[in-house]
Chain A
Amino acid sequence: MVILVSMIIIAGTYGLGQAQPKKGGTIIDAIGTEPTNLNPFKATREPEMWIVKLIFEPLFTINPKMEIESLLVESWKASGDHRTWTFVLKKGIKFHDGTPLNAEAVKFSLEKHMIGSQGRMLKVIDAIEAVDENTVVLKLKESFPILLTVLCDHAVGMVSPKAFASEGWGSKVLVGTGPLMFKRWISGDRVILEKNPDYKHGPSFITNKGPAYVDEWIIRFIPEPATLIAELTEGNVDLTKYVTERDVQKVKDNPKTEVFMTPSTSAIFLAINCSSKNKPFDDVRIRRALAHCINADVVLKAAMSGIGDPLYTPISPSLMGFWKGSETIGKTNTKYDLDLAKKLLDEAGWKVGRDGVRVKDGQPLEVVFLAFSIARYKRMAEVATPMLQEAGFKVDLKILEAGDLYERVLKGQHDLLATGAVASKGMAVNDLIAQLHTSSIGHILQWCLYSNPEMDKLLDKARYDADPKVREQVLKDAQGLAAKEVPVVPIANAMQIFGYKKTIGGTENYFKHPWAIDQVSTFRALELYKK
């Protein structure tokens, strides 16, 4: 009896000693640019997704062990040929307008996504049936064992059909199942979200299953980086993921703020136009020469203040399914070695002319080098240009804003492009397909206009083969081939940088997931609170 009473007292004391998350209050988040729209069927850009993911949820998510986990689904099964998938939804989940998350709503949402900005990923779906109130059946055009990697994308969120039909959908009306509900969008100033009091279905790896601790979550738009950092360190902003590499030390040194950094899924590189029509960059020796004459460490230091992890392949090592062996191959083919670059160019018949520019058959070795006008890419291009010139390339550098640049790249009017795989979905197979599969040419992420039947075959098998061991092996082979082919000059794997005030609690739980600030940023609404 004495032991029992002691245990109860100790347990109670321990409970009292533990800091309980404080409920209530407002968190002020800040982003560097106002979203264009928050319609999940049209939103694609990072400022939009940072907000959209708080309101809308996909059927599945990814846990910290990089395993797919259910979010809105109770159970699921696939037919033997992976062409028919049956999902039974969790009961009792409602949209923010009170309508139920049911099979019809899921059918509606997926059909809208199929013709929206995420449509490419969902092309494999042939038909969707709402069999009963909670059961959805997806019939696919072909065997697709990795369907769940598409359905766990937080950009493929479920939408209330009733809300979609109302006036102002996309800017005044936004209704999902997420931990936060849309309240108001003040143009040019902020988006205001409020707690979803009925939210209770947070995934297993989240400490707080719901509802959110805070009552209100405000996302302010602060376009000037200096002002944003000022508001974080001295003003009323509580957290932001828009801390640039240059400002990391400032935020770290401030006694009121902290910085958390984690490798992102964004590979930063110089994409090479490998099209067979784009001589001589269709020659792998020239591409390797390009890579060997670029000192990636110097470019990283100049463009990103040295903050980034080494990169040796076209895709980020943080992706699900990344094969470490490809880094060894990639390193051999892309390490900085100016003498080797010159040797490769000599071997390919490009001899140094009188003015230092290499020439072959009377033609100079010209590089049309494009870069986004965003500071990071502009700086990358400016620092890389003299390195290319040293090896004997004649460089025509153009810094362009997005609209103009997209148009030129789609027409293949570039040889080299300072960019990155910044819209990664987190899966090695999907990123490789987006960047290097022939079917992706014409799609803006195929910066390299790369086409290789061997790569296509490997990637198709990696997607569609029924045997997971075969899929795993061919994916490794595809990554090895990509590392040998050098379609990009790798610069670095970017870091996700998250600045926050020390008055924000719950960060130790929030940061456990490697993709917390990226693909699964939804759950910051559940974990974080004001101390």
Chain B
Amino acid sequence: MRAGEGSAEAVERIPVLIKYGLRRLMLLVPVLFIVTILISSLMYLSPGDPVRVMLGLRADEEAVAAIRAELGLDKPYYIRYLKWLGNVARGNLGKSLQRNEDVREMIVERLPATLELTVFAVIVSILLAIPTGVISATRVNTFLDNLLSFSSLFWISMPGFWIAIICVMLLSMKLNIFPISGRAGPVWTLEGMRYLALPGLILGIRQVAIISRLIRAGMLEILNEDYVRTARSKGLAERIVIYKHALRNAMIPTVTIFGLQIPELLSLSVIIETVFAWPGTGRLLVDAVLKRDYTLVQGIVLVYALLVILMNLIVDLLYAYIDPRIKHA
């Protein structure tokens, strides 16, 4: 059986997938627990005093000691960790050491900007990667294929930071097509979309290159299969052969790789957020690490870990849905 056949059977498999999904969700808690231990240990054990960083050059030892006691930083780190963990279990991520603000509120304020950026990048990458991958595979070794291949290699090889700066200079400063930096509001507004377009495109361009290469490779293999030859000889339209039969099978490894790219998208978003002064959680996390804001780092990493785990679960379920040969016992 090939993927795409027997849609009735696919529907029958949904309860199995739900059971699989619930089992995976139960693993969420121990995985997050291990992640928090690792990140907390790294933070507490790394050199640097958050109070010194907060108060800077002119603070004397008394002021430092007073604030250290006020923030509970004079207690052993495992006591601080356990207290934080207890609060997390009650839905409280604590207060930022530096800003004295609720960590959950700080994340809620900044996370939408990062999600906008990454979701836009994902949509752009899918919309551009699929047609370019298909075109490359169906016009193999032509000028167009070579051009698209070169372009993919270029975007994969170039550092994101450099691409971002060049695009700002060219597209924003010289040609005035996009604004230079900042965020102007929610994505469903015209202004919001204008400001999101360039950083979102640059974040997604590397994914376009990777995914289109994968689709091309997959399609090239599948287009030579017997069943595709049979479908053509039966007189099916080329469009149906390519998109309904070949592409769906070529997407299987692509979906897998896509799941692995999600953490990379989140980490790349830090660079894009910095270049474009985009107010997301990526930059917030980097600032928090540099300022030794333990509670804020723990909170953001926890949320990121949760997002990555959930996204990978969705990818796994999608993978199983696309390919009925995958059995989640």
Contact = CB atoms under 8 A, between A and B. Distances in A.
A310 B57 CA distance: 24
A401 B279 contact: no
A445 B58 contact: yes
Interface residues of A, number: 47
Contact of A403 (B47, B62, B274): B47
Interface string A152-187: 000000000000000000110000000000000011
B292 interface: yes
Given A220-B182, A226-B168, A120 B60 contact: yes
A25 B185 CA distance: 21
A117 B110 contact: no
On chain B, which size bracket covers the interface? 35 or more
Interface string A402-415: 11101110100000
Contact of A444 (B52, B169, B183): B52
B226 interface: no
A227 interface: yes
A383 interface: no
Contacts of A407: 47-49, 52
B181 interface: yes
Interface in B256-303: 273-280, 283-284, 287, 290-292
A404 B49 CA distance: 8
Interface string A198-231: 0000000000000000000000111110110011
A117 B287 contact: no
Interface string B101-116: 1000010011001000
A34 B109 CA distance: 15
A403 B57 contact: no
Given A171-B99, A227-B168, A407-B47, A44 B277 contact: no
A118 B53 contact: no
Main secondary structure on chain A at its contact with chain B?
A: loop
B119 to A, nearest CB: 18
A45 interface: yes
Nearest to A45: B56
A358 to B, nearest CB: 31
A358 B317 CA distance: 67
A19 B287 CA distance: 44
Given A188-B110, A224-B274, A404 B54 contact: no
A234 interface: yes
B110 A170 contact: no
Interface of A: 33-34, 36-37, 39, 42, 44-45, 115-120, 170-171, 186-189, 220-224, 226-227, 230-231, 233-235, 401-404, 406-408, 410, 422-423, 434, 442-445
Rank and list the top 5 A-B pairs by shortest CB-CB distance, nearest first. Answer: A403-B48, A188-B279, A44-B56, A189-B279, A404-B47
